[in-house]
Structure 1
């Protein structure tokens, strides 16, 4: 069984009435709930827990980590960021959701500013599948339509994705690479744009399907551990 740790900053839902109305128990509880219903072994962790809930023991027992943050990126301790980065390079999957593009760990793994255009104006979004054979798109129609979204627009300052899975069009005219797959070391990273704190995006069945698919895709698959450094030849050398 794939073990998922659902991490959330959990600030908006306690401080903002609109966010609290949408997610009274926190975004993390909604995500963990529908992933649990799909057969994953889920736990939650939040910013204000000791070590942000991401202790060595928790990460050692995590196949895939989902990350949602927005207004308190700078409060994430660098030691925890180091720990998460190391686990990703060793094979743990990471799903960076919505404003987690600015999280310390995602920026560290990308090596760029991860900046973008944005506008919060309740715009319609069409999330187009541009890689229909990809495992993350299984069970999803040609596009997902969201009636209210926060606009994110290009240029998105990340390295070229290994695979681009979704591209968004917004009512105001912008487009955005909304579903990006990366490999970092032995780990898989998926950035998925939808998910604003005051819109009911994580209740949408198709969004839930995408995230469940992404967990399956990002989970470690085993295989031999590579060896590095100086080594003796496998065959005799003259």
Structure 2
């Protein structure tokens, strides 16, 4: 089965910052999609903030098995009705991978139900990512740890709910540590948060980071049919759920006697 991925990006830094444009001439979204498309089982396309409906219409999300989300400076520009649409898709069974500063995006905050705040420092420090779940599908093909020579520091405390699994823990040259790979399940949807990816560093060209993203796409994809209305709370009338007591009584009595014979 081909995994259909949509890579969403604000696409703001690339247009306003020459350094970012030089690092990611095809945009961060283009580089991530390229990495995912190296796997023949994945078909990745892109969407950006500037498109109508931010490129995330109902039809687009219905055709997306896993959504990747990169955001940083334009969280507030994402329309609330699009956030509702994305969350409904997750509850219905779409996978969602949040990257780097997407921890502060509207969809992540909504799905976590928490502030999602943290400490940070942009100083181009070395990051070592330790694998804390060596048998997890997201860490397949990796061993022990890997390093990124230059990254933005994220530090604890990280204001998120307790995850299902902590897949990576990062250490930074300044001494801080951070839970940098976390899994969640919301409704029928699988969610993975992955920390690396500051816009001024070539993180998404790193072979280990690209392997994690491919693995995450496979892990987050849910082959089951989507739930049609994940927020429904249907009432089941009594006559559909239960027989009248007087009709059930004799049969229960007979069943009970049969059990002792």
TM value normalised by structure 2:
0.87
Q: Which structure 2 residue ranges, 5 or more long, are not aligned?
A: 250-261
Matched residues in 2 for 1:165 and 1:67: separation?
19
Where do residues 1-238 of structure 1 align in structure 2 (5 Å cutoff)? 1-39=2-40, 40-222=42-224, 229-231=234-236, 232-233=240-241, 237-238=248-249
Distance 2:164 2:241 in 1: 33
Please say which structure displays the higher CA radius of gyration.
2
| CA spacing shift, 1:56–1:127, aligned 2, 3 Å | same
Q: Which whole-Å CA distance do the structure 2 matches of 1:7 and 1:228 have between them?
A: 31
Aligned-residue RMSD, C-alpha: 1.7
Deviating runs (4+, > 2 A) in structure 1?
Answer: 223-238
2:145 and 2:179 mapped to 1: Cα distance? Answer: 14
Distance 2:27 2:226 in 1: 39
Change (3 A) 1:51 1:145: same
Deviations 1:71-119 (A, max 9, x none): 0000000000000000000000000000000000000000111000000
SS of the equivalent of 1:217 reads: helix
Tell me by how many angstroms 1:23 deviates: 0.2
Structure 2 distance, partners of 1:63, 1:234, is 39
Q: Which runs of no fewer than 5 residues in structure 1 stay unpaired? A: none
Q: Match for residue 252 of structure 2?
A: none
How far the C-alpha of 1:234 sits from its partner, in A, is 8.5
Any idea what SS the aligned residue of 1:87 has?
A: helix
Match of 1:70, SS? coil
Asked whether the equivalents of residues 23 and 200 of structure 2 are also in contact (C-alpha less than 8 Å), the reply is yes
Q: Following TM superposition, by how much is the alpha carbon of 1:221 offset from its aligned partner in structure 2, in angstroms?
A: 2.8
User: Secondary structure of the residue that 2:32 maps to in structure 1?
Assistant: helix
Deviation at residue 224 of structure 1 after TM alignment: 9.5
Name the SS for the 1:52 alignment partner.
helix
CA distance in 2, matches of 1:148, 1:80: 34
Structure-1-length-normalised TM-score: 0.96
Structure having the higher helix fraction is 2
Cα 1:190–1:237 shift into 2, 3 Å: farther
